[in-house]
Structure 1
Amino acid sequence: MNALAAELQTYFSVFARSQRDLSEHTICAYRDTWRMLIMFLAARTGTRTEHIDFNHIDSDNVASFLTYLEHERGNTVSTRNARLCAIRAVLAHAMPGHLEHAETISRVLAIPPKRHPKPMLEYLSTEESDVLIAAPNRAGWTGRRDHALLVLAIQTGLRISELCSLTCNDIHLGTGAAVTCTGKGRRKRATPLTSTTATVMTAYLRERATRPGDALFCGPHGKQLSRDALEHRLQAHVATAAASCTSLADKHVTMHTLRHTAAMNLLAEGVDISVIALWLGHQRTQSTDAYLHADMTVKQAAIDRTRPPNTQPGRYRPEPGILAWLAAL
């Protein structure tokens, strides 16, 4: 076993779990990145995968790997940057124990993440949300489950990973109804439920109690639904809803779109951006600033506050006779 292989085993078996306490999702993402990198380097250098070592992990090879991700695998810049983060995390841990490769590792650590334009976030209007919530066929168990899932997701803004991991014990009804979850960075939070959501969840939990397992949103055998399953179910309901709400057909709706929708609903009701950050489980309020950019009503209100005194409110309307107006200048 060479030095790189030994370091990878130490990182993923001991450091990532015992010392960093990384989530399983993060560990899997880092693992997949290194599998792809080693296979890429083996093909690029003509070396067997088991012989790939630190001397192969130089800045040129890593830069070529990142280019390969974008142009051949079709990864987004965000995914490319996440893969770079995974490479740097392992190398930063390895460098103190392998000073003979310190210069090579330092050059890789110096590779910056790639900048890219961030698109305006997409969210659903009130009408689109209502049509989507009504889309599941509630004549069967699956439709009633999906209806409850959509109601909870749009009202609370939970991440898809948080929705997947919910158990029946995470829903607290009665006075101060709320849902509790563990989000990014092992941060626990409780999100209040509206009376409408609490009513829907009460009826759903009553029926859910007759089925096996403790996952809140479960499959046929009582096990929690996967992320892919949730996205698949959502796309089916979006297609149904688009038949009566044509604006949905022009939007790329994912489970994260429902999270954006919850945030925009709070912003429309005048909730402070710092409170929305706490609601969504953001570590920093800067992560929530994107909702301010997406909300044109907030920008219009800012314009309205800056109009000169003694000016009638409203948008500018040109005079009907433009030639006469120009002559009067």
Structure 2
Amino acid sequence: MQAFFTERLIRQRQASPHTLAAYRDTLRLMLVFAAARHGTEPSRLEFNALDAACVGDFLDHLERHRGNSARTRNARLAAIRSLFRFAALRYPEYAATIERVLAIPPKRFERRLVTFLTEEELDVLLSAPARSTWTGRRDHALLRLAAQTGLRASEMISLHCADIHLGSGAHVSCIGKGRKQRITPLTSNMAAVL
């Protein structure tokens, strides 16, 4: 399992700390579940103890007893599949077990529609900061920037002055989810506020 984290996730995939933490938590939960199921310590589990039935029961346990949503369950399944794809290359003697685990389908769920603020709600939000103070002007500018560009909170937090380009072709450059660079144009009014 250590090789999965060091070789596969860190070296090959260059996974983010958030991905590493999510995978670590998933695999820890699964090992504790499997150990309790087999009446042993997690460190004494044999690989074939993590068969498709055990993984399926673990995923059901996440939903029923831990209150995980279908989306969270599917994210945990993705972490488990990643481990088993890695194991398939190293442990061909467990190919049948691995194949059955990899065949577990994700659970279907309804995607929520993205909601947005009405113009009135946005006006109320933008009028909230007291623009007579420095912090009020800063907060107003950040709220306007978020509303105009649609940047996530994490993207806003990681912005630096060099990421905001004013003048001709004004835009904001940021690194979004999945380490993808996003460039979002700014209106002349927004550029003036900044």
- Calculate the TM-score normalised by the size of structure 2: 0.89
The match for 1:15 is 8
The match for 1:252 is none
Give deviations 1:31-59, integer Å, cap 9, x for gaps: 22112211222222222122233122111
Q: 1:192 to 1:39 in 2, by over 3 A?
A: same
The match for 1:276 is none
Q: What amino acid is the match of 1:156?
A: T
1:44 aligns with 2:42: no
Larger Rg: 1
CA distance in 2, matches of 1:53, 1:195: 63
SS of aligned partner of 1:122? coil
CA distance in 2, matches of 1:132, 1:74: 33
CA distance in 2, matches of 1:141, 1:104: 62
> 1:37-76 residue pairs with structure 2 within 5 A?
37-76=30-69
Structure 2 unaligned blocks of 5 or more: none
**CA apart distance, 1:74:** 1.4
The match for 2:147 is 154
Give deviations 1:79-132, integer Å, cap 9, x for gaps: 111110011011101112111211111111000000112233221111111212
The match for 2:22 is 29
Identity among equivalent positions (%) equals 54
The match for 1:176 is 169
Give deviations 1:171-227, integer Å, cap 9, x for gaps: 1122222111122333222111112222232xxxxxxxxxxxxxxxxxxxxxxxxxx
Q: 1:52 to 1:145 in 2, by over 3 A?
A: farther
Q: What amino acid is the match of 1:103?
A: A
Q: 1:132 aligns with which of 120, 125, 133?
A: 125
> 1:1-329 residue pairs with structure 2 within 5 A?
8-138=1-131, 143-201=136-194
Q: 1:200 to 1:119 in 2, by over 3 A?
A: same
Aligned residues: 194
SS of aligned partner of 2:183? strand
**CA apart distance, 1:142:** 5.1
Q: What amino acid is the match of 1:76?
A: S
CA distance in 2, matches of 1:31, 1:82: 12
- Calculate the TM-score normalised by the size of structure 1: 0.55
Structure 1 unaligned blocks of 5 or more: 1-7, 202-329
Give deviations 1:241-261, integer Å, cap 9, x for gaps: xxxxxxxxxxxxxxxxxxxxx
Larger mean CA deviation between 106-115 and 58-67 belongs to: 58-67
CA distance in 2, matches of 1:81, 1:90: 14
